[in-house]
Amino acid sequence: MAFRYPGGKKYTGSRRQHTSPSPPLFGNRGMTLEQDLNDTNQYYRSTGRAVIHKKPTPVQIVDVDYPKRSAAKITEAYFKQPSTTDYNGIYRGRYIDFEAKETRNKTSFPFGNIHAHQMEHMSEVLRHEGIAFLIIRFTLLEETYLYDAARFIEWYFEQKERKSIPLPDIRENGHMIPLKYSPRIDYLDIIDRIYFS
């Protein structure tokens, strides 16, 4: 039996000698924050707990290369407008809007990870009594926090001499989210305690 790739090209698997397995690579054994959140939000939707989605980034396609119809390739595209935040939706009758970021920094969360227009967007959400926050993962420390947008905005706009939020402040004023099996990052339990208790 011949196997073919979706484009019709024939698979010609090479026959290799059986050798001992390579040692496992541990560099990417954890899921990314985005994948964890997408899985969590899918769980929330499937159980009827909340409706929260990742926002698509609007892109204007300028040029496409068509070597053949089945292999179209975008060669040039531009963002139509600055993005706002990563996720939004509704939970218990309240609008939810948040940004998710990972950092390899072990002592602070750099402001360079967030743009001013994103902070302005979260400020507008707060003005309209929505719930806005950041989910920050310190990948090397394997720690994930929910950090209220109002506090982050204070740091961002009022602490002009700083370029980051120190980790001790995030640990003290944020809320650690333990990783679980399902849902992976149960941030709504924290939302319940902060906004609905």
Binding site per annotation, positions for Mg(2+)? 84, 86, 99, 118
| Cβ-based burial of 126 (10 A; exposed 0-12, middle 13-18, buried ≥19) | middle
3-state helix, strand, coil in the chain (%, to 5): 30, 30, 40
* 116-127 vs 149-158: helix crossing angle, rounded to 10: 130
The neighbour count for residue 76, using CB atoms within 10 Å, is 10
Which residues participate in the annotated binding site? 84, 86, 99, 118
Residue 74 bridge partners (DSSP): 64
Helix, strand or coil for residue 49?
Answer: coil
Separation of CA 67 from chain center: 34
Cβ 56 vs Cβ 84: under 8 Å? no
Q: How many CA atoms lie within 13 A of 155 on its CB side?
A: 21
